[in-house]
Amino acid sequence: AQRVTQPEKLLSVFKGAPVELKCNYSYSGSPELFWYVQYSRQRLQLLLRHISRESIKGFTADLNKGETSFHLKKPFAQEEDSAMYYCALTSGTYKYIFGTGTRLKVLA
Amino acid sequence: NAGVMQNPRHLVRRRGQEARLRCSPMKGHSHVYWYRQLPEEGLKFMVYLQKENIIDESGMPKERFSAEFPKEGPSILRIQQVVRGDSAAYFCASSTQGQASYEQYFGPGTRLTVT
């Protein structure tokens, strides 16, 4: 079955510390992976997708097919990074499968 | 462009009543998706519509739930005879095309509470 697992409900780090938000997936084919972010009182928005291989707001994510992971990383966390982060996959169609989300708290 | 609009933002219904959730897609978007987020869970796909057509309703509960996207006006997600288990956040998204490579833009959601 297709599934996205985000093992941490809450991740607290200090400002300036590295951040890694974990995402593991279960899918038999070649999925497309995404990270979505929801800042406080704002709507869900796309942060990055694996096919574009870009860095957004200092965040990167590498698709590791061997480990079936798509962890989100940032070398130096900032307070404005505090938000809810969702990992999602599709099989190349419109149907997203979302993880349960990880709340990132960056402490001053 | 105001983005995807959803109303109401909060809706309280008693058991047995009907709930109507509205979604206006972004300008120029003709593809609409509804997702449901139960407490402590991720967003789950419910239905995909294009103007006047239901393309995929594989995620919709078989009973009491229906969706439409008329030629004119917003998309409507309708829940008849609501039960406590329907309490959730319902998100609508829209895109210009119905493929993953085309970004889905999400609305702010409607939080439904069934008392």
Q: How confident is the model over A8-29, as a mean pLDDT?
A: 95
Using alpha carbons only, give the angle B103, B10, A35 rounded to the nearest 5 degrees.
Answer: 25
Classify residue B103 by its DSSP letter: P
Tens-digit pLDDT profile for residues A46-94: 999 887 778 889 999 988 989 999 999 999 999 999 999 999 998 877 8
Partner residue opposite B107 with nearest CB, options A43, A86, A90? A43
pLDDT for B18: 98
How do B88-95 and B110-114 pair as beta strands? antiparallel
Tell whether the model's pLDDT for residue B1 goes beyond 70.
no
Neighbouring CB atoms inside 10 A of B36's CB total 22
Q: Which pair of tokens denotes residue A82? A: 């505090």
Tens-digit pLDDT profile for residues A22-47: 999 998 778 889 999 999 888 999 99
Q: How confident is the model over B72-88, as a mean pLDDT?
A: 96
pLDDT for B98: 77
Is the four-CA dihedral B8, B12, B15, B17 of positive or negative sign? negative
pLDDT for A55: 83
How far is Cα A89 from Cα A31, in angstroms, rounded to an integer? Answer: 6
Tell whether the model's pLDDT for residue B100 goes beyond 70.
no
| Coil, helix or strand at residue A59 | strand
Residues of B with CB under 8 A from a CB of A: 3-4, 31, 33, 35, 40-45, 48, 56, 59, 91, 95, 98-101, 103-109
- Hey, are the CB atoms on A43 and B33 less than 8 Å from each other? no
Tell whether the model's pLDDT for residue B56 goes beyond 90.
yes
